[in-house]
Amino acid sequence: MAYTYSKIATYTVGSGGVASIDFLNIPQTYTDLHIVCTIRASGAASAGSYGINLGINGTSTNRTGRWLYATGATPSSASMTGALVAATGGTGATANTFSNTSIYIPNYTSSTYKSMSIDSVMENNATSPFSLDLFAGLRSVTEPITSLSIYTDSPITIVQYSTAHLYGIKAEL
C-alpha cells in the first residue's frame, strides 16, 4: 500500500506568543492526519514542566489513554483522561530549546472511535536533561475530526518561533 503525504497547513507563532495553535476546517479527503510541532512554553520552569494539550473539534473530553514518560533515567507510566498528550519546557530550560512532538491520528474521517499515537521529547542541559513521552490514546466519539488545537497549561502561552505542521496522509489501496 502506498501513502501520499500532503501538507495541509503550517503555523508559526509570532511575537508575543499565542494561547493555542489551531487548525480549523480540516479537509476530509485524507485517511490519516500527522502533526509535527516544535513548542516551548512561556512559563519560567524547565524541561517537562508544562503540558502540551490536544483539543479535538473544540473539546478535550471523551479521551482515555496510557502515557509512558521519563525524565532523566526515571521511567514512569500513567493512565490519562483529557487533553494532555506531551510535555514541554519553559524559559527555565536551556535557551532556544523546543520540544519536538509527533501526533498521528489514523482514520480521522471514520464513524468509529479515533485512536492516536504521540511521541515527544524535550531536551534540557540540566540535572533532568530530557523528558521523553509516548502516548497511546482513544477518543470515544464517532464524529469525523474537523479541527485540532494545540495548547499549553493556562495561563502559560506558546512562545514565538514555535511551529506546527499539519499533514494529510492518503492511503492508496
User: What's domain 2-172's architecture?
Assistant: Sandwich (2.60)
Q: Write the pLDDT tens digit of every residue in 69-125.
A: 877 677 888 888 888 888 888 888 888 888 899 999 999 999 999 999 999 988 777
Domain boundary assignment for the chain: 2-172
Q: What is the dihedral of CA 59, 84, 80, 64, to 10 degrees?
A: 40
Whether the Cβ atoms of residue 9 and residue 166 lie closer than 8 Å to each other: yes
Residue at grid coordinates 509570532: 14
Query: Is-above-0.85 flag for pTM?
Result: yes
DSSP state of 128: S
Q: Write the pLDDT tens digit of every residue in 120-167.
A: 988 777 666 567 888 899 999 999 999 999 999 878 999 999 999 999
Whether the Cβ atoms of residue 131 and residue 71 lie closer than 8 Å to each other: yes
Provide CB contacts within 8 A for 108, sequence distance 6+.
Answer: 26, 30, 31, 32, 33, 114, 144, 145
